[in-house]
Amino acid sequence: MQNAETLSGIPVNKVANDFPTLTSTGVTYLDSAATSQTPRQVLDSMAKYYEHYRSTVHRGLYLIANEATKEYNYSHVVVAKLVGAEAVWDEDENDVESELIFSSGATQSLNLVAESFARTKIKPGDRIVITTMEHHSNLVPWQRIAAEKHAELRYVEFDDEGRLDLAQMEELMNDRTKVVAVAHTSNFLGTINDVKAIAGIVHKRDAYLVVDGAQGVPHIPTDVKSADCDFLAFSGHKMCGPTGIGGLYGKKELLQRMEPYEYGGDMILTVHRDQATWNHLPWKFEAGTPKIAEGIGFAAACRYLESFGMEEIRRHEEETTRYALKRLSEVPRLRIFGPLKAEERCGLISFVFGGKFGKDSYPHAHDVGDALGRRGICIRVGHHCAMVAHEELGISASARASFYLYNTKADVDRLADALLEFERSPPV
């Protein structure tokens, strides 16, 4: 174990002991933007469900079913609180009404908005505005809607440091613009976008703002009311929670007008031969037997993050990223993408080697990832589901290191030292 290290008040080495994978493997895990590690507190909450009150929810009148229903339903309240969404708990009914819907993750959440909301709003000749830094989950659904509805799809560009051109966004907005979709934080460039400022631009034209919060919610204090976004999507597995669970916030008046995305059990209020009516929020959009253990684990992950405070987590990552930018700048020929100031980006850094090794070949990102992986350093390589952004920069793939509350400056040193060694002895 390393010597104790504290960044922004978080005792990082002590925190790392909460994560079984880190303690059992000894790897330097720098891939949290893809999937974060899960602490024992979350695993224990899910095991408790399986071991002590395993049953389905919303129908059983026996003791353990009531317990499962209470824990699962109240999980919506806990997750909603983290992002500032409205959730009203009815203790007598053991039920909740919430603007926060559970989904399988940010991808399903964004598809739900595209299918249940945007499809009914978009008409031929209308305009959808997105950005060239979007993850495919917040790009491909809008491509399909635009193509099927014969609407325009227009892109906001980013500059040399990965900042969005908000002046261009204003120019692209017209009276036919219905939806603007943007990432809170780019999963490739690391750029933190000003959602509140973007919301102001969007709402001046009476359009709707859809935010991909997959990289923002786990790392940055989030308040959907203050930001004034219309929808916000995020994933549990990127914020210390289990896989297969995520959230969608939507303004209540919009969710109430929307038709369901999926149909089946529990999302209905009544069913007759010729018609059906829908349950109240959030159940209207949660068809079938839900992911009960995952929902309980999702809430436990939010409690875990809140035990440190999202402000402290953000400060920790900003310090880590600032140190990483400094250390990686020491590596010859390394090209870093995105803002060069830590306060303008989240805790990830994507990079390539820009100089040639040998006669006519660049060291591919996969070679970098393989070399680091052999040293027990876990990073991401590829296009990170952001092919448009990579094309804009003239590259096919990049390497990405990403940090979370359990990472230390020593982890950054291992990364930088390994890259320096790789630069001195590249693959043939």
CA angle 411, 416, 418 (to 5 degrees): 95
CB atoms within 10 A of CB 263: 13
What is the rounded CA–CA span in Å between residue 51 and residue 268? 30
CB atoms within 10 A of CB 68: 22
Instruction: Report the domain count for the chain.
Output: 2
* Domain stops at, among 258, 281, 307: 307
Q: Are residues 300 and 345 in the same domain?
A: no
What is the rounded CA–CA span in Å between residue 226 and residue 224? 6
Examine residue 75 and state whether it is found in any structural domain, yes or no. no
Q: Are residues 119 and 199 in the same domain?
A: yes
3-state secondary structure (DSSP) of residue 101? strand
Which are the catalytic amino acids? Answer: 385
Examine residue 333 and state whether it is found in any structural domain, yes or no. yes
What is the rounded CA–CA span in Å between residue 105 and residue 235? 5
* Domain stops at, among 307, 329, 355: 307
Average pLDDT of every residue of the chain = 95
pLDDT value for 428? 63
What is the rounded CA–CA span in Å between residue 217 and residue 243? 16
Q: What mean pLDDT comes out for the span 350-375?
A: 80
Q: What mean pLDDT comes out for the span 308-315?
A: 96
Examine residue 80 and state whether it is found in any structural domain, yes or no. no
Q: Are residues 291 and 413 in the same domain?
A: no
What is the rounded CA–CA span in Å between residue 53 and residue 50? 6
Q: Are residues 135 and 264 in the same domain?
A: yes
What is the rounded CA–CA span in Å between residue 272 and residue 278? 12
Residue 140 in tokens: 């491909």
Residue 153 in tokens: 């799809």
Please write the tens of the pLDDT for every residue from 93-113: 999 999 999 999 999 999 999
Q: Are residues 301 and 388 in the same domain?
A: no
What is the rounded CA–CA span in Å between residue 157 and residue 168? 8
Q: At 414, which CATH number?
A: 3.90.1150.10
Q: Are residues 257 and 340 in the same domain?
A: no
Please write the tens of the pLDDT for every residue from 63-81: 999 999 999 999 999 999 9
CB contact at 8 A, 126 and 177: yes
Q: At 259, which CATH number?
A: 3.40.640.10
3-state secondary structure (DSSP) of residue 213? coil
CB contact at 8 A, 79 and 247: yes
CB contact at 8 A, 182 and 168: no
Q: Are residues 255 and 266 in the same domain?
A: yes
User: Lowest mean pLDDT: which of 115-119, 190-194, 354-358, 366-370?
Assistant: 354-358
Q: For residue 135, which of 30, 249, 34 has the smallest C-alpha distance?
A: 34
CB contact at 8 A, 267 and 287: yes
Q: Are residues 279 and 344 in the same domain?
A: no
Please write the tens of the pLDDT for every residue from 357-367: 543 346 889 99
> Which residue do the tokens 């983290």 mark?
82
Q: For residue 289, which of 103, 69, 57 has the smallest C-alpha distance?
A: 57
CB contact at 8 A, 297 and 267: no
Q: Are residues 129 and 242 in the same domain?
A: yes
Residue 104 in tokens: 């399988």
Omega into 11 within 30° of 0, i.e. cis?
no
Q: For residue 41, which of 295, 300, 381, 359 has the smallest C-alpha distance?
A: 300
* Domain stops at, among 254, 273, 307: 307
Query: Which residue spans within 65-142 are E strands per DSSP?
Result: 87-90, 95-98, 100-103, 127-131
Tell me the residue range of the domain where 365 lies. 6-30+309-424
Q: Are residues 283 and 380 in the same domain?
A: no
Please write the tens of the pLDDT for every residue from 127-179: 999 999 999 999 999 999 999 999 999 999 999 999 999 999 999 999 999 99
What is the rounded CA–CA span in Å between residue 277 and residue 84? 29
Residue 80 in tokens: 């909603």
Q: Are residues 267 and 367 in the same domain?
A: no
Q: How confident is the model at residue 355 (pLDDT cuts 50, 70, 90)?
A: low
Examine residue 56 and state whether it is found in any structural domain, yes or no. no
Examine residue 410 and state whether it is found in any structural domain, yes or no. yes
- What length is written for the chain? 428
